[in-house]
């Protein structure tokens, strides 16, 4: 069953607090130390500029310590942008939540015709797709746009608990909420905003823009840093499940059950498997048990193999309120 994916709307420029965050600072379930134990946590990452341990306070009020991870050079190099120039060109992927032909699909003629049918004037008189690359300029009223924002080199800082602590009730991931960090320092992020209604919780938010997501499942934030809405190691499984064959993820090696990153609660996140996905997963798509990296066992999450997006829908552990900052 596909979880709904809503894509960013034009008002995203005012929602930097949703896709970005301010500078981070510092139950009934017992503390779980299994996810990190005695391993060298920092050695698992690339693009890591520095790693220190700092005092922090989790969302449930627990005073503890956190890994402070500082990354540079996280923006990938690719052959984008992924908004096509003309209707029949093939761009990246996205999910449309309008009335006509909604769902996860290619950015190509079928989508533009669907948006036009729903009243979004996204194709001009010359058959070209209206593309927005800069949110500083005010777009034309009543127009629809494919969003292709520019990447900016930034330094990203995360706070991840050194000792995960489970909550009494799992925390549902909200739209554009930070989920965690990939091993290359790229933010793992929840569902993008709705194309129809725009970012949630914003006064005067309006829809009409759909961001171009690259074939590995990510795109630039309005602030300029690249972030992922999919676990990229499993992206081709998702594309295949939705009958998308014109594009594929080639930048990230596709692999079953490999460590993809860490959720902001400190528990590891693994890629999916086409043929050996566990059947005893909980509502957050996780379980407790041994993995290659944690042979003594720990709670860990799995990506979905056929849902768009394929990130965990909830987290079982507590985290700091602002897990990531940038500068």
State the DSSP string of 240-269.
HHTT--S----SS---TT-EEEEETTS-EE
Supply the pLDDT for residue 138. 64
Q: Buried (b) or exposed (e) across 308-318, using 16+ Cβ within 10 A?
A: bbbbbbbbbbb
- Mean pLDDT taken over the chain: 86
Q: Buried (b) or exposed (e) across 59-77, using 16+ Cβ within 10 A?
A: beeeebebbbbbbeebbbe
Instruction: Please give the share of the chain, as a percent, with pLDDT higher than 90.
Output: 72
Tell me the pLDDT tens digit for each residue of 8-65.
333 333 333 334 444 443 333 334 444 454 347 889 999 999 999 999 999 999 999 9
Supply the pLDDT for residue 1. 43
Supply the pLDDT for residue 8. 36
Query: What total number of domains does the chain contain?
Result: 1
Residue 6 has pLDDT above 50, yes or no: no
Asked if the structure places residue 87 within a domain, the reply is no
Locate tokens 């996280």: which residue?
Answer: 74
Structural domain of 65: 10-78+150-229+321-326
Q: Buried (b) or exposed (e) across 290-302, using 16+ Cβ within 10 A?
A: ebeebeeebbbbb
Asked if the structure places residue 200 within a domain, the reply is yes
Supply the pLDDT for residue 163. 95
Asked if the structure places residue 117 within a domain, the reply is no
Question: Could you tell me the pTM of the whole model?
Answer: 0.87
CA distances from 275 to 140, 158, 204 (A): 48, 33, 45
Asked if the structure places residue 154 within a domain, the reply is yes
DSSP per residue, 152-187: ----EEEEEESS-BEEEEEEEPPTT-EEEEETTSPE
Rounded to the nearest angstrom, the gap between the alpha carbon of residue 135 and the centroid of all alpha carbons in its chain is 20
Residue 140 has pLDDT above 70, yes or no: yes
Asked if the structure places residue 102 within a domain, the reply is no
Q: For the residues 89-98, what does the mean pLDDT come to?
A: 93
Residue 133 has pLDDT above 90, yes or no: no
At 198, the pLDDT band (50, 70, 90 cuts) reads: low
Tell me the pLDDT tens digit for each residue of 275-285.
999 999 999 99
Asked if the structure places residue 276 within a domain, the reply is no
Tell me the pLDDT tens digit for each residue of 202-244.
444 567 889 899 999 999 988 999 999 999 999 999 999 999 9
Asked if the structure places residue 121 within a domain, the reply is no
Opening angle at CA 84, ends 246 and 210, nearest 5: 95
Supply the pLDDT for residue 14. 36
Asked if the structure places residue 112 within a domain, the reply is no
């Amino acid at each position: 069953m596909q979880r709904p994916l809503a894509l960013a709307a034009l008002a995203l420029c005012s929602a930097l607090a949703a896709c970005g965050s301010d500078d981070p600072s510092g139950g009934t379930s017992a503390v779980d130390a299994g996810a990190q134990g005695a391993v060298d946590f920092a050695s698992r990452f690339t693009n890591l500029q520095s790693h220190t341990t700092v005092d922090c306070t989790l969302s449930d009020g627990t005073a503890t310590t956190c890994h402070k991870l500082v990354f540079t050079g996280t923006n990938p190099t690719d052959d984008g942008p992924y908004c096509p120039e003309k209707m029949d060109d093939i761009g990246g992927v996205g999910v449309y939540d309008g009335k006509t032909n909604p769902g996860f699909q290619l950015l190509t003629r079928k989508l533009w015709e669907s948006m036009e049918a729903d009243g979004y004037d996204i194709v001009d008189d010359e058959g070209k797709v209206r593309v927005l690359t800069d949110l500083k300029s005010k777009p034309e009223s009543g127009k629809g746009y494919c969003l292709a924002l520019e990447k900016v080199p930034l330094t990203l800082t995360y706070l991840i608990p050194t000792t995960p602590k489970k909550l009494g009730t799992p925390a549902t991931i909200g739209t554009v909420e930070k989920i965690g960090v990939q091993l290359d320092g790229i933010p793992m992020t929840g569902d993008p905003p709705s194309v129809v209604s725009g970012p949630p919780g914003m006064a005067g938010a309006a829809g009409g823009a759909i961001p171009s997501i690259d074939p590995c499942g990510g795109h630039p934030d309005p602030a300029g840093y690249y972030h992922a809405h999919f676990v990229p190691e499993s992206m081709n499984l998702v594309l295949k499940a939705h009958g998308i064959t014109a594009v594929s993820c080639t930048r990230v090696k596709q692999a079953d059950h490999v460590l993809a990153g860490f959720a902001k609660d400190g528990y590891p996140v693994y890629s999916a498997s086409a043929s050996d996905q566990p059947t005893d997963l909980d509502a957050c798509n996780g379980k407790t048990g041994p993995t290659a990296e944690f042979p003594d066992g720990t709670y860990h999450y799995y990506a979905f193999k056929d849902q768009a997006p394929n990130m965990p829908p909830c987290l079982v552990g507590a985290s700091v309120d602002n897990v990531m900052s940038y500068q």
